[in-house]
Amino acid sequence: MNNRYAVILAAGKGTRMKSKLYKVLHPVCGKPMVQHVIDQVSKLHIEEIVTIIGHGAEKVKAQLGSSSLYALQEEQLGTAHAVMQAEAHLASKKGTTLVVCGDTPLIKAETMEALLKQHETQGAKASVLTATVEDPTGYGRIIRNAEGFVEKIVEHKDATDEEKKVKEINTGTYCFDNEALFSALKKVSNDNAQGEYYLPDVIEILKSQGEIVTAYQTEDFEETLGVNDRVALSQAEKIMRSRINEYHMRNGVTLVDPEHTYIETDVEIGQDTVIYPGTTIGMGSKIGAEAVIGPNSEIKNCTIGDRTVIRQSVAHDSEIGTDVTIGPFAHIRPQSQIADEVKIGNFVEVKKSIFGKGSKASHLSYIGDAEVGSNVNLGCGSITVNYDGKNKHLTKIGDGVFVGCNSNLVAPVTIGEGAYIAAGSTITEDVPAQSLSIARARQVNKEDYVKKLNINK
Ligand code: UD1
Ligand code: MG
């Protein structure tokens, strides 16, 4: 097998996106488009990947890290000019160079592999991945000769009316004999409608030199969708989403309504988990088996154990154990650790807190910056008063504590193991273990007082 190299084009601004965010960094199912491309290319046997960066260079580099080498294209003079920038890295190398656009997030490794295989077995100098589409507007058209061989690629803006009728398009993925590529690039001109150096012109240049040029047509146009604007972005999102959903369903996860279930990339879900509609599960989340999530829930970057039930709730950046029940209408904020068999009920907000095994906050509570032991019962309306207007303070609640309804625990404060807090208390001092603490005014009943005031007369 030939040595293989790859060039990812990611220097463009993406004017048609009308966005502050550089085009290739727009996420599709949570992951930036260019990262999708790199992840797929990385599955092939590639010696070196060179990403061409320009607009937002630092941000693209920060995203891709060491998975790629970089070449800077200072001025965006077109896709051929972009590939030229990889010259220092690749021009002296012998082998095949795959070129992929950073704005085709749906491209699959298998398809690129098939393109590479065909290219290598036919001894071609250039091969282009094509697709036949209903609406080819905006794409470069594949122009074939009478024998059916590819002659050239014509950009939409340069195409004649006749050429515009061609429905076979350039997907923007190619492979080239490396030396032929860099010598042909020198011959590309910018004499065209956009005044740009077009990479697709390399095809015509090599063909006119009598070299073998092939096209590999994929059946799956969806995979080659180029995202230039927000309409295409939403199409890419939809296609990626249905791929992801299908993957989980084939893995044994029930999605009650996959059309309305939004699972981002790189999420793990165990068998027999059921996801109800309106649920969003963000990148990097891990959900165990036999769990129930949704409806209308938002899970972001959480680990969730087996058999846990989360209904109509939001949970971010937290670890949630097995056999936990959350919601309806609960909010688990970042850095929370919820142990097994915990119950977080309706209208409970938990922030940066630890809940020990079997503890409960069943109704209407705010628990922030707290370490709650195991088997603690936080009654309805329990509040940790964690903020003094300047700083946040810790509340520590020992194992087996019972906090009566409507209690304020003014932090910093520690409630010892097994203590009881009387309902309606405002606790400002530590409570020793096993004691009852009552911190509220005593009730006074003034008999016949109302009669004296004649209020009801
Ligand atoms: C390009 C192809 C077109 C093909 C389509 C497939 C050219 C001239 N046209 O058009 O035939 O049908 O892709 O999606 O190649 N880029 C740079 N530097 C530049 C210009 C572009 O790095 O100077 C990058 C962009 O960031 C982008 C990619 O190259 O990731 C493609 O550029 P784009 O402007 O999207 O080209 P299209 O008009 O889509
Ligand atoms: Mg494009």
Q: Whose CA is nearest to atom 7 of ligand 1?
A: 198
What pLDDT is recorded for position 272?
98
**Among the bound ligands, the one closest to the CA of 172:** 1
Q: Taking the chain, what is the end-to-end CA distance rounded to the nearest angstrom?
A: 102
> Does residue 367 share a domain with residue 218?
no
Total domains in the chain come to 2
Q: Which amino acid is it at 205? A: I
- The residue from 207, 224, 241 where one domain ends is 224
What pLDDT is recorded for position 451?
86
377 phi/psi in degrees, rounded to 5: -115, 110
Within-domain flag for 82: yes
Which residues have CB under 8 Å from 447's CB, separation 6+? none
Q: Which of 9, 38, 233 to mutate to test the pocket of ligand 1 (most atoms within 8 A of CB)?
A: 9
- The residue from 206, 224, 242 where one domain ends is 224
Within-domain flag for 206: yes
pLDDT in tens, 268-289: 999 999 999 999 999 999 999 9
Quote the domain boundaries for residue 371: 354-457
CATH of residue 441's domain is 2.160.10.10
Atom of ligand 1 nearest to the CA of 54: 22
Question: Does the CB atom of residue 102 touch ligand 1 within 6 A?
Answer: yes
Q: Determine contact, residues 353/376, Cβ cutoff 8 Å.
A: no
Q: Collect the ranges in the chain with pLDDT lower than 50.
A: none
- The residue from 224, 245, 264 where one domain ends is 224
Cα 227-285-348 angle, rounded to 5 deg: 115
Q: Determine contact, residues 52/86, Cβ cutoff 8 Å.
A: yes
The predicted model scores a pTM of: 0.92
Q: Is 356 left (phi over 0), alpha (psi -120 to 50) or beta?
A: beta
CATH of residue 209's domain is 3.90.550.10
Catalytic (active-site) positions: 363
What pLDDT is recorded for position 456?
59
Atom of ligand 1 nearest to the CA of 139: 12
Question: Does the CB atom of residue 288 touch ligand 1 within 6 A?
Answer: no
